[in-house]
Structure 1
Amino acid sequence: MTRTLPMVEPDPDLPESVTIYEVGPRDGLQNEKSVVPVEVKAEFVRRLLAAGLQTVELTSFVPAKWVPQLGDAEELIDLLGSAGTGRQRPVLVPNERGLDRALEKGVSSIAIFGSATESFAQANLNRSVAESVQMFAPVVARALDAGAWVRAYVSMCFGDPWEGPVPVDQVVDSCSRLMDLGCDQLSIGDTIGVATPGHVQRLLDGLDGAGIGVDQIGVHFHDTYGQALSNTLTALSRGVSVVDASTGGLGGCPYAKSATGNLATEDLVWALDGLGVEHGTDLDMLVETSVWMAGQLGRPSPSRVVKALSGT
């Protein structure tokens, strides 16, 4: 039987191409209760690269006591060899010690992880928003001095489980503080999946007013309420061309229990295919990878496209 393909109806208001920033190996796996063997993680990354994904966030150089799942960062980089240290293989670092560990392994792209709310800053980093910016300042400066590319994540940009809705001005302020450190890219995160398209537009307007243009922005939506794809398409219609996604829809946040899975890469690719937007990935290989990883984790993928195309 011939596989169903989406009808292609290009939208002239969307970017011609989109960079998929794959977060499955890091954000996708970090909340798994059982530690995934490092050999499986390395094979996961290899399969993602073989499917055509260019940007793959590999791991986080956090202490193992914070996130046990990511306690094997050095070993993973070693297993991947040259595939683990290129410009498009970012890793998360929480502080200068994490940066030291990453640079020692030859990593050339890093990400820092800030917050738009005080509650999450305390839960995730054990410090205030202002104190976290102070902590990240030398990390960013040293990374840039070493020739690294730097991304700034800002979480809780649309809602916070402790504080509720987050004012746009507050989010813009937090984003501006991190970008003022010299970061190359900003990822705005809907950590608990409560964003809606109008909210997305208003935040993008606010960031633009603060001098942070869509060419510097990536979007990171969780699918808690089934809105991740619609919010992503709204951002694309405003000129954003970097989208965070996780193969198989894996993901969550160990410090925000209401955060469920990320936008599934397969669901994003299906939509982009139908819109005639280039992305450079092979959907069949992504689906095969998700089915394989689901088998490793012992549960089916939540991605609708994976279920439709794999018959699972």
Structure 2
Amino acid sequence: MSSPSRYRGRFAPSPTGPLHRGSLVTALASWLDARAHNGVWIVRMEDLDEPRCVPGAAQDILDTLHRLGLHSDEPVVWQSRRHAHYERALVSLTARGLVYPCGCTRREIADSLTRVHARHSTLAYPGTCRDGLHGKTARAWRLRVPDGDAALMRFQDRWKGPQTQNLATEVGDFVLKRADGQWAYQLAVVVDDQLQGITDIVRGADLLDSTARQIYLQTCLDAPAPRYLHVPLVMADDGEKLSKQNGAAPLSLDTPTAVLAALKNAAAHLGLPATLADIADRDRFYAAATQAWRERHGH
């Protein structure tokens, strides 16, 4: 692992389909942030959720990044090959009494929340199995979150400013290993960021809500907390986040002109200077975009 004093960032797509405009914005932002800080940029393939992974999508993503000129500075990391790391983390947390088995179904959780008239932005787990399974069969494994003032997580986002989330009332004890045996995103991403020495995370604003959970899990694993920057989402015509699920078209990068056009559109979405649109060469575009990013987001 490299010294934590040197910037180390990552782009971590899920291979559920080809890259589209929204994922390019995140890829470009994370690459520019790494280059603006003279750091390392790593591609990590988050292919843990096997039922959602599309055959061939991971290689398609890597080929698209290659056409864009966005090359990982280190070998690509595949989450599907890292189960032993996640298992070790779960065993460690369980040994310290921070993790417990849960036998609740989604329906039972929803019913419990209805009975206590809970009204939170997320489906906060009510702690039903905190004190034992009460005859149920273990389905998932949950991390015990703190109560009271200790549950209030505060962090500074480099794009969106000060953030606060109460883990106890807005989230509840959250899942680290799912009922289907799959590792939860929250555990995998924290373990991988720690092991890869990631110092800065640049990603879409849809993951802002996960950050407090990840910061708390980092403290539980004695892992350093990275800096965070969440970029604005690209929205679809229906007002929802642009995604493969709502018909996001794959990038069309058949020619150098198409590549440059896609990059310029992503830069414009990130609020970079309009003068970038006048550049006719990819390498000069990257140099100018990196300098513009450095002036706006340097630290």
TM-score, length of structure 1 as denominator length = 0.30
Q: Which protein is bigger by CA-based radius of gyration?
A: 2
TM norm structure 2: 0.31
